[in-house]
Amino acid sequence: PGTSKNLSLELLLSLAQGKHSTVEPLRHVPPVESFTLQCTSRTTAKAVENVFRSAIERKRKFPSSESMVILDEIGLMEQNPLF
């Protein structure tokens, strides 16, 4: 447990802004938009589906960028009695 993984990912995403990045090597990759779902033991398949649909819709609207889905603490979903 901790925040180092999340912090590292947030730092990378803040720099992955395509040609507007403050880091020269990242100026040559498309900007990245993240879609995060904080999973719990009550997270449903519908919630997961919705976050993926949002990412797909964003990609359709902005084809020159990339969409990334992050399912934080996905292991907690295994505790959901509906699965």
pLDDT of residue 2: 63
Tokens of 77: 């979903």
**Which is nearest to 13 in space by CA: 69, 54, 51?**
69
pLDDT by 10s per residue, the chain, length 83: 566 888 898 898 999 999 999 999 999 999 999 999 999 999 999 999 999 999 999 999 999 999 999 999 988 988 887 76
pLDDT of residue 78: 86
C-alpha angle 32-42-69 in degrees, rounded to nearest 5: 10
Using an 8 Å Cβ cutoff, are 83 and 77 in contact?
yes
pLDDT of residue 47: 96
pTM, whole model, 2 decimals? 0.82
Tokens of 2: 């901790």
